Structure 1
Amino acid sequence: MISVGLTGGIGSGKTTVARFFEAIGIPIYFADDRAKALMVEDQELIASIKALLGDQAYTYDGRLNRAYIASQVFNDAKLLEALNALVHPAVGKDFKQWAQAQQSPYVIKEAAILFENGSYTHSDANILVTAPESIRLERVMSRDGASEEAVRARMQHQWPDEQKIPLADYVIENIDLEATRKQVNSLHKQLISLKK
Structure 2
Amino acid sequence: MFNVGITGGIASGKSLVASMFELFDIPVYYADKRAKYLIQSKEDIRLEIMELLGIDAYDDNGDYNTKYVASIVFSNPQKLQALNEIVHPKVKTDYLNWVKEQSSPYTLHESALIFEGGFNSLMDKVIMVSASEDIQRKRLIHRDNVSFENANRRIKSQIENEIKKSMSDYIIWNDGSKSLIKQVFDLHHILLIESKRNNSTKLD
TM-score interval w.r.t. the shorter chain?
Answer: 0.7 to 0.9
The offset of 1:39, in angstroms, is 0.6
Going from structure 1 to structure 2, the CA distance change for 1:58 and 1:136 (only over 3 Å counts) comes to closer
Going from structure 1 to structure 2, the CA distance change for 1:73 and 1:161 (only over 3 Å counts) comes to closer
Equivalent runs, 1:1-196 vs 2, <5 Å: 1-176=1-176, 179-195=179-195, 196=199
Which 10-residue stretch deviates more, 177-186 or 133-142? 133-142
In structure 2, how many angstroms separate the alpha carbons of the residues matched to 1:117 and 1:56? 25
C-alpha distance after superposition, 1:50-72 (max 9, x if no partner): 34344443334322233443455
The offset of 1:33, in angstroms, is 1.2
Which 10-residue stretch deviates more, 126-135 or 19-28? 126-135
The offset of 1:153, in angstroms, is 2.8
Instruction: Please give the root-mean-square deviation of Cα atoms over the aligned residues, in Å.
Output: 2.3
Which 10-residue stretch deviates more, 136-145 or 21-30? 136-145
The offset of 1:80, in angstroms, is 2.2
Secondary structure at 1:5 match in 2: strand
The offset of 1:6, in angstroms, is 0.6
Secondary structure at 1:194 match in 2: helix
Going from structure 1 to structure 2, the CA distance change for 1:76 and 1:68 (only over 3 Å counts) comes to same
CA contact 2:77–2:157 (8 Å) conserved in 1:
no
The offset of 1:159, in angstroms, is 1.9
Going from structure 1 to structure 2, the CA distance change for 1:72 and 1:153 (only over 3 Å counts) comes to closer
Length-normalised TM-score, structure 1 = 0.87
The offset of 1:147, in angstroms, is 4.4
Moved over 6 A (4+): none
Tell me which residue corresponds to 2:202.
Answer: none
Q: Which runs of 5+ in 2 are unaligned?
A: 200-204
Number of residues of Structure 1 aligned to a counterpart in Structure 2: 196
In structure 2, how many angstroms separate the alpha carbons of the residues matched to 1:70 and 1:147? 13
In structure 1, how many angstroms separate the alpha carbons of the residues matched to 2:132 and 2:77? 28
